[in-house]
Structure 1
């Protein structure tokens, strides 16, 4: 059997603080030979260099910013990442959009790792998407009544990515999903169609800071009165169409409807470059006589930011 373990110290005897010492453990004899494991203070395992062997995983990285909060353009920003614990200590690598960092010096601590980067911040101009929104329909072409169709709107490119909103005439989407891969925005709606929806339109709106319509440069020129088709009093059980129109403005204004006795769904047509139009339609009854429909237009350069137009239905 092997001999009892013996330990020798080099240099021998008491040593001054910060002196490096070597402890050598020796076990003679034995077949097979004995295995040697070092422990610090009787229980904590250490490796051959005397470093404490910690089997616990390090903490999740934390990042602190100095100064705290939004930073004024041209000022210095310092980001500090810290990971505590772990053996060996963790390593830190920075990946930042728009600039290459300089790796900080190794952390001097024995129980954590700290890395900092600094930069004079500047405003990064928005990058316009590659193309305007495009819509695809599945199944494509004409469909039978009762078919459920899927409309997908896509905006490729841009930094930041564009935002997509839907408006569908005559019906509400039963599903609405938006996903953002790294290079485009995709949004889909699902609709069960009926013959009454033939010719109606679903509009996909794309919004992006780099597009001109999102930059307020001038208010609208005019907010016209609501027009009714057919004009004048309407015979009961006939269709009436109300149209609201705002000319000019950059960006274009937005329109919202509110009617007594029923909930209209905004039905925007194809948007020209110089005006916004919205129409609603209803088969009227005698109960609609005297009811009001209100079209509200909103624009960020109006004070207050909204105006209204009212129309009273006359049914006999």
Structure 2
């Protein structure tokens, strides 16, 4: 299978290019073309081998949820001319991510465990356990870092620093909570619990749009509903639907992204296992059967041709 490590196209009318950890982003005067590569990252490090179909899974999952939430908030997506490609409106992004949490897990739990009872300005009650459901979903914003890690920030700090105007920020809050409610309902239909997720927004001429990806396993944490109560009462880890299994493998092989550590070698068998798990993630979250892009076609040629057709319209 021809996995996509990176792309280096020069499309007609292209005005810029940016390579993220996973996506290659091509800029045009009024639109963006995002190509989801098969790169995979963990601990803020891109791993040495691409994962076949991982980009297709990510792109198609994001498109599925963008279309399923378009009645709540307008979003950037215009077209998906290729399994790995999304074409959308070029928005001016807000410099914050709206992180919504329904459960005390991950970063929120680590802060709580260490004695903090306020997260991003939001007060948390005493007596909570790891993975407990919160009394109601909370928003714990983070700054959008161009380099390094995003950082927690409170609503009050966002407004006092003028990062987002209050009127707009209230709109972002309302959209984020409505999206989380829809995501929670959609997850429940699939036997899943949407634990936490992040949303990114942008604007065009003062109108707010949802941008980037939505409710994908790369941007969200899911628990399996059928084992949640049993594991919680037994104080056992929750069965998750995410790429956590990749992080666990790296940790078991002595890598956590720390200085001096070397990424372990990835065997062909392990790469195929990751690919199969990502396909499983897609089918579980969306309820759709995964249809892999034609493995007999060079994906670079396929993508270039499909993007070219889209631009010509």
> What TM-score range do you get, normalising by the shorter chain?
under 0.3
The structure with the largest alpha-carbon Rg is 1
TM-score (norm 1): 0.23
| Structure possessing the higher relative contact order (Cα contacts under 8 Å, 6 or more residues apart) | 2
Higher strand share: 1
TM-score (norm 2): 0.23
Higher helix share: 2
